[in-house]
Amino acid sequence: ANDAKSFISVECSGCLSQCGKGPNIMIEESSGKTTTPGKLYFGVDGVGAASAVLDVACGLDSPIELLIASSSMIKARSASSPSKKESLLNPTIEKLSTHPEFSTSTAYAHALTMRADARLELIPPNIQGALEDIQIASSILPTDAKVWRVMADAQEANGDIKAAVKSVMKWSEYDPSFRTKAKKELSRLSSSLNC
């Protein structure tokens, strides 16, 4: 299981259309550009249950810290306000950042990305905090589309339109399904450069 962290990614998902049976976990296997359809596990209502699913499905002895981090991110995702989201993520980020094994984990990068996004939604926005978070996240996950999307928003909020354009291009490169949205975003940003 020590080698597992090199190929395991834990992400919050959107709706799995199984709300009445949840919380749920979907286990997918990915190799290169193909992803095997996942197996859905129902009623995973705690960290212990999630650990058991990962042990059975993948043969992994999951670190409890990462499972708790994932749980915190799920709660933050449904938070009622950006400040609530930020306050839910702060302890998780603090814990992961000080742990030598998890300070470069995908969980840490995803939590930083979520907090950067929340910081941009605050009134007034915490642009510097968002930039600091998303720069760390981009060093851990340099090919993650969401990281580059949030990076572009932070750079635009900071007035660095040229950097935001480059980040939108990376967002589009790393997730081609957003190319149409990215083109609109590039057009909007380019027009603000010409003003």
Beta strands in the chain (DSSP E): 25-31, 34-41
pLDDT in tens, the chain (195 residues): 344 444 566 666 667 777 777 677 777 776 666 666 677 777 776 666 776 777 767 776 677 788 788 888 888 988 999 999 999 999 999 999 999 888 998 889 999 999 999 999 999 999 999 999 999 999 999 999 999 999 999 999 999 999 999 999 999 999 888 889 999 999 999 888 776
CA nearest to 92, candidates 81, 77, 80? 77
Residue 77 neighbours by CB distance under 10 Å:
14
Q: How many CA atoms lie within 13 A of 174 on its CB side?
A: 16
pLDDT of residue 5: 45
